[in-house]
Structure 1
Amino acid sequence: MRSIAKPATQHTITANAKVVDQLPFQDRQAYADARQGFIGTIDPLVITDDSGRVVWDLEQYAFLQDESPTTVNPSLWRISQLHMAHGLFKVTDRIHQIRGFDISNMTVIEGESGYIIVDPLTSVECARAAIELVYDHLGERPIRAIIYTHSHADHFGGVKALIDEDDIHPGGVRVVAPSGFMEHTVSENVYAGNAMYRRAQYMYGQNLSVDPTGMVSTGLGIALSQGQISLIEPTDLISDSGQELVLDGVRIEFQFTPDSEAPAEMHFYIPEMRALCMAENVSHHMHNLYTPRGAQIRDAAAWSRYIDEAMRRYGHKSDVMFICHQWPVWGTDSIRDFLTEQRDLYRYIHDETLRLAAHGHTMVEIAEMIEFPEGLATTWTARGYYGSLNHNAKAVYQRYLGFFDGNPANLHPHPPVESARRYVDFMGGAEVILAKARRSFDDGDYRWVAQVVNHVVFADPDNTSARELQADALEQLGYQAESAPWRNFYLTGAQDLREGVRTDEATLGTSDVLSAMTTDMLFDYLAIRLNGPKASGRNFTVLVHVTDTGETRLAELIHGVLICTPVDGHADADTSVRLDKPTLTGLALGAATLTDAVSAGAVDLSGDDELVYDLFTLFDTFSRSFDIVTP
């Protein structure tokens, strides 16, 4: 099936028109702020890798210069337009930002003899283009320090465009990050990485066309760059609020904010510049307490407290506040107002959700009931461009009470396909359901159409009429969504229903991030890959010597699990393996096969070799193209 986008229905046109009346579109201050301090840019802003492959292309979003179309929520169109401001911008004396070269910002602080770089974007290619623009306008100076504000790839991935490992030595470049940075950088997107990757395709609209009927923004920035992700391990870790460092003559005070927007995150303040960096804990929108791509629920109460602490520590003595996405805030009063709104936003979601839960309301009910109070309801910085009030309330409920709503009818439901078949049978069959659903579609009840027709699709995924109607409903929901991730989920779901799933069978690979996995992390990932039912009844041990690190692990296959224990070089085992850590990494991640590694001389087996080969037949290979909107 070929995906052909359909126009907005009259119901969608009406719904989007109402948004214009509900929000203060006459307030254009953000448009001025997003362009304040502009110095220069690349024109056209198209960045390629060494092979000529395009990794960043802002030109394809030129349509955002137009008026909001009927196929996009006007509020989402507004933030998408604001994300189009790109180039080098002056924040204040000695602080500049590159914006619009990736989903995130790169900040440049002038030290005594060189530059301090904050968050070097997602990819090497974009960071290289960014630093070249800096050199063109501010002059070429050595890079003296790198600051990673938190453990998400869009805030460190371009680092090797700026420095390499040879620059890390006593007296060399310092790399500063919050405590726990390496552990969370590696683990968050590896253990559940395959499922996250697939869901991220939906969340970021990676397979959608870039146009008013498809991808218009991520809500946090225009898009994610598609270049090489690199990583250099920190030299300095921040583990306490109030901790200070002097980097290239600049005194910086840090605020440690773990388990906020990222599991490892921090703010910092520069006294001599009266400048506050709030990392990604505040934005010009509502952020995610739960990210739809999948991740651990974030602590709304702690997040709010960290913002409050920053405001009390630094708000009264800051002239500018800059962040790692979007544009700065200038002026002490404006900074304190902004931080107050952001603090109260996350606290309100937390407290109101738990208040309603205490009255016995369930997660889904609370998400429908909760509304922001006056002062937040129509504030641009509380709009759900990236997070949403609906799924953030569900996140708070899940953090405290879990997925079960307490109703025993929901304690052990049938799985989706079996439920779907029973629903279709009870409701009179597919044709009866589709006839009623088409009437609901004509009435504009797209949420109900998506919900009820989903049963028909799961009961019979080859039912073309059901797939088309489901796609049509999801498409209209996408056109109405204010949240960019919601839009992208809806529209990607519609695309998969119409076209089928696009195949992507690449493995996790061995990038800098994955190569930074510890030996124990690699064995943990092997244990995740183990097919428990296939391993049932097998019991043997393998002694693994990691030659270049001097580590030895005893791997025991027992009860359908793989238990790996550190040992001091020698232990009784049924067989043994000698290999270096890069080889172990490739095998663990599925980027190499045992047969090829042995043939290449990278793996040395002794004892009962067949047991090692048998073990590797028990590891699953994960598809990165699994179905989501069909069974």
Structure 2
Amino acid sequence: MAAGGGGVVTSDPSKHFDPKGKLPSKYTIELQEGLRKSLPFDDKRDFEEAKRGFIAAPTYKQIMAEAGNVAWDMGSYEWLLEEGQNFDSIHPSLQRQAILNMAYGLYEVVPGKIYQVRGYDLANISFIKGKTGWIVFDPLTAKETAAAALKFINEQLGERPVVAVVYSHSHGDHFGGVRGVVDEADVKSGKVKIIAPEGFMHHAVAENVMAGNVMTRRMFFQYGVLLPRSPYGHVDQSIGKNTAAGNLGLIEPNVIIKQDFEDMTIDGIKMVFQNTPGTEAPAEMNTWFPDMKAFWAAENITGTIHNIYTLRGALVRDALEWSKQINIALYRFGQDAEVMFASHSWPRWGNDRIQEIMRTQRDTYAHLNNQVLHLANQGVTINQIHNVYALPDSLRNQWAAHSYHGSEEHNSRAVVNRYLGYWDANPATLVPLSPEDSAPLYVEMMGGAKKIIKKGRALYEEGKYLHASEILNKLVYAEPKNQTAKDLLADTFEQIGYQKESPSVRNSFLAAAYELRHGMPSGASPKASGPDVIRGMSTGLWLDFLGVRLDTSKTDGKHFIINFVTPDNGEKYLVELSNSALTNISGVQSSKADLTITMNRSELNDVMMGKITFDEKIKAGKATLKGNRKPYDELKNMLSTFTMAFELLPGTLPDKKATPTSGNTFQQASPADTSGG
């Protein structure tokens, strides 16, 4: 299985990659020019810090995957480094961030002790020099990029074994390359420690299973999976350039940090771990190195304000808790820290500078939470807040307060959603018509397609892109085959995308424009987790997802109880189909069960990964059925196999034929990739 966006697509940066694409309008150009004059571009400290400690860059720009594809290609973004070039198709602040993320090679963070390899993946990989070997913090997304980084630092500084790995948190770009730096046998024997925060294994898998298929499809938009790397397409991913398209693995940690703070010494290096659950990830931790006065901020403090709501889909995060955890770190470690480094972006040096960044990000998350709720308590709704909420100038004038990974628009709505939910308290929006049902009414009342296109084009020519998209979107839902309407909506989306500071928002508009013009390309396969992630899934979570896959058109009037037993790990589950709901409970068995299924969890792994079918396991005697086989056969026929062959925008799927169901109906679909948070 591959992690990352798949094939690298590039184009001539001097012209638009899409024959239907439009150049920046005069309104977009005027906006970008105004931003170049108003933003604090005189503050060059980030550029100085991003270059500090540089040791060497590799001679290569590409890293190949074991499967033969390009896993990583920094060269595909080199057009960003053209001296003095301003791209009117890129928000000036985003262009600045995209250039900062072009750092590539080996950097020294603390002389003789802490190093980072940057520009090998979405994240940084950090190396702490112990008495005998390397302690690796966050081994990237893919085995291939992590192995290349380890090889490069060993070539530059002398070969040393990896004695420990720290997973700072439960997102794929922070553990997926572990097999590129350590051998699983050494972890199981205890020779190598893998250290992670409490809840890591559960969240590394569970966060992206239940809605994994649709999350992966939505990733086409947030990550611009199909966009060429171009001034008119993909330029950056805010916390790095992109994610690697290689082998994503997972080795279970053998040391778990459970307390709020835990001291540990490994290979002569003293560390204090700070658990920060419920911040950027459900399981995450910072690390303090007291002897070096160095603070590792994980992904809690980077070169951007992060997502409170991730556009590909995820549970809404807690901006207030995030600010509180930064505050704890500020007063526990920040008073003494002389260097702060993280799993993305660049380090900061000097106590004054570190405290400045920590306060800026603490205050930005706190202001977001508190001011949004201040406005909500005065009646501002979820459908208004993004047009009302704004940072104060004291934060807006600091680069560390800019929302590249997040955006003020979608993060402000997320805060309302966390506390009040999606309803704006207007009964007209409580049980709304579906867009395809309401759109024909709007189109009829507006006088039909010709009038809407005429007005939409006039609004576009006036630079009123959000107004144009409001009415054109109705027309496209009413007439999904109206290519003129789709092309005009695409033109509108494109200008909005050019104007956005956040790559996630930019990519979403530009990717939607592409699909409106050309349809969703068939066979596109973005990020997917590897077999290690499926192997790490709990049996209960697998059974939960079978309930999601249940086709209730086939369950009417059916009821059964199945005892499911996996002797090798001592698990027992009661699985019941009742009222078209498939439920399970751990540790319980029924004396009235219709069927008992017994198989080792190690055998179930083969089924979940698609190596062999459940029926073949039964035939081989690796699984036994005791009782009435009928519920097993019925359950097989009730399970749907999800594909990404569905539209995010109307009229964009050229072939709506159903995809044949796999013969292995109990195979677990790969969870969505959590890279980037």
1:67-86 alignment runs, 5 A limit? 67-86=85-104
Q: Matched residues in 2 for 1:472 and 1:363: separation?
A: 27
**Worse-matched range after superposition: 588-597 or 211-220:** 588-597
Is residue 443–residue 475 contact of structure 2 (8 Å, CA) maintained in 1? yes
Partner residue, 1:530: 550
Match of 2:560 in 1: 540
Query: Residue 266 of structure 1: CA displacement?
Result: 0.8
Corresponding position of 1:7? 23
Q: Which residue of the partner structure matches residue 4 of structure 2? A: none
TM-score, reference length from structure 1: 0.96
Aligned to 2:41: 25
Post-superposition offset of 1:592:
5.9
What is the aligned counterpart of 2:577 among 557, 565, 590? 557
How far apart, CA to CA, are the structure 2 residues paired with 1:199 and 1:602? 38
Matches within 5 A, 1:315-464: 315-464=334-483
CA displacement at 1:430 relative to structure 2: 1.7
Deviates more, 1:566-575 or 1:607-616: 566-575
Q: Give 3-state SS (helix, strand or coil) of 2:514's partner.
A: helix
Amino acid at match of 1:357: A
Shift of 1:3: 5.9
- 1: CA distance, partners of 2:352 / 2:528: 47
**From 120, 128, 131, the counterpart of 2:147:** 128
Task: Name which of 575, 584, 600 aligns with 2:595.
Answer: 575
Equivalences for residues 195-274 of structure 1 within 5 A? 195-274=214-293
Aligned partners of 1:600 and 1:444: how far apart in 2?
67
Residue 89 (str. 1) matches residue 107 (str. 2)? yes
Q: Is the 8 A contact 1:151 1:182 kept in 2?
A: yes
The residue identity in structure 2 corresponding to 1:115 is: W
Q: Partner of 1:116: helix, strand, or coil?
A: strand
How do 1:34-45 and structure 2 match up within 5 A? 34-45=50-61
Query: Which 10-residue stretch deviates more, 564-573 or 301-310?
Result: 564-573
* Alignment RMSD: 2.0
CA deviation profile, 1:437-465 (whole Å, cap 9, x unmatched): 11111111111222221111111211111
Matches within 5 A, 1:37-186: 37-66=53-82, 67-93=85-111, 94-169=113-188, 171-186=190-205
CA contact (8 A) 2:595 2:628 kept: yes
Distance 2:220 2:570 in 1: 39
Distance across 2 between alignment mates of 1:301 and 1:237 = 26
- Checking the alignment, whether the CA contact within 8 Å between 1:474 and 1:491 is kept in structure 2 is yes
- Per-residue deviation at 1:596? 5.4
Which range moved further: 17-26 or 129-138? 17-26
Contact persistence 1:542–1:556 (CA under 8 A): yes
123-132 or 25-34: which moved more? Answer: 25-34
The two structures have a TM-score, normalised by structure 2, of 0.90
* Corresponding position of 1:499: 518
Confirm or deny that 1:187 pairs with 2:203: no
Evaluate the alpha carbon distance shift between residue 505 and residue 11 of structure 1 in structure 2; reply closer, same or farther with a 3 A threshold.
Answer: closer
- Which consecutive residues of structure 1, in runs of 5 or more, have no partner in the other structure? none
1:77 and 1:345 map into 2 onto residues whose CA distance is: 22
In 2 relative to 1, CA 34–178 (structure 1 residues): closer, same or farther, beyond 3 Å?
same
Aligned residues of 1:119 and 1:324 also touching (Cα < 8 A): yes
Task: Provide, for residues 254-303 of structure 1, a one-character-per-residue CA deviation record: whole Å limited to 9, x for no partner.
Answer: 11110001111111101101100111111112111111111111111110
TM-superposed deviation, 1:582: 4.8
What are the superposed Cα offsets for residues 114-143 of structure 1, whole Å, 9 maximum, x if unpaired? 111000001100000000011011111121
- Stretches of structure 2 that go unaligned for 5 or more consecutive residues are 1-17, 652-677
2:547 partner SS = helix
Residue type of the partner of 1:575? L
Q: Deviations over 1:545-567 (max 9, x none)?
A: 32533433222111111122335
Between 280-289 and 582-591, report the one with greater CA deviation. Answer: 582-591
Alpha-carbon distance in 1 for matches of 2:576, 2:74? 51
Instruction: Give the aligned length.
Output: 630
How far did 1:600 drift? 6.2
Check conservation: 2:66, 2:246, Cα contact below 8 A. Answer: no
Between the aligned partners of 1:463 and 1:589, the Cα distance in structure 2 is: 42
Counterpart amino acid of residue 57 in structure 2: T
Q: For residues 17 and 273 of structure 1, do their structure 2 counterparts lie closer, same or farther at Cα, with a shift above 3 Å needed?
A: same
Alignment partners' CA distance in 1, 2:516 and 2:619? 43
